[in-house]
Amino acid sequence: EVQLLESGGGLVQPGGSLRLSCATSGFTLSTSGMTWVRQAPGKGLEWVSSISPSGDSIYYADSVKGRFTISRDNSKNTLYLQMNSLRVEDTAAYYCARGGVIRAIYDYWGQGTLVTVSS
């Protein structure tokens, strides 16, 4: 059974940092593009970042470029999102999903982890 489990969310002050993790199981991570999608409370979905299976191709939304870093450790079956210089508008549930940036066949999703940026 394919499972994605996010962790690392929480309350952080503006300007602070967090690292999200997405532990995967039930499939071979090294053959899958992976993506982070976020959803602000009561709002719609926003694509954040995608990474190719090997990690050599990385893509970011303009809203997070230069502040967020996506990475993966295929040996640990884990996807990461390092978030720096956090802003109030980054407050959202962050989902990891299996799939890349082009075809975006996001067939499996985690349950989401909530990031709250507030003073």
Partner 1 sequence: QSALTQPASVSGSPGQSITISCTGTSSDVGGYNYVSWYQQHPGKAPKLMIHDVSNRPSGVSDRFSGSKSGNTASLTISGLQTEDEADYYCSSYTSSRTRVFGGGTKLTVL
* Of residues 31-70, those binding partner 1 (CB under 8 A): 35, 37, 44-47, 50, 59-62
Q: How far is the CB of 36 from partner 1 (least distance, A)?
A: 11
Under the binding rule (CB under 8 A), the answer on residue 95 touching partner 1 is yes
The CB-of-54 to partner 1 minimum distance in angstroms stands at: 17
SS (H, E, C) the chain: CCEEEEECCEEECCCCCEEEEEEEECCCHHHCCEEEEEECCCCCEEEEEEECCCCCCEEECCCCCCCEEEEEEHHHCEEEEEECCCCHHHCEEEEEEECCCCCCCCCCECCCEEEEECC
By rule CB under 8 A, what string of x and - marks binding of each residue 2-31 to partner 1? ------------------------------
**Closer of 13 and 111 to partner 1 (Cβ):** 111
Residue indicated by tokens 């503006």: 14
Instruction: List contacts with partner 1 (CB under 8 A).
Output: 35, 37, 44-47, 50, 59-62, 95, 97, 101-107, 109-112
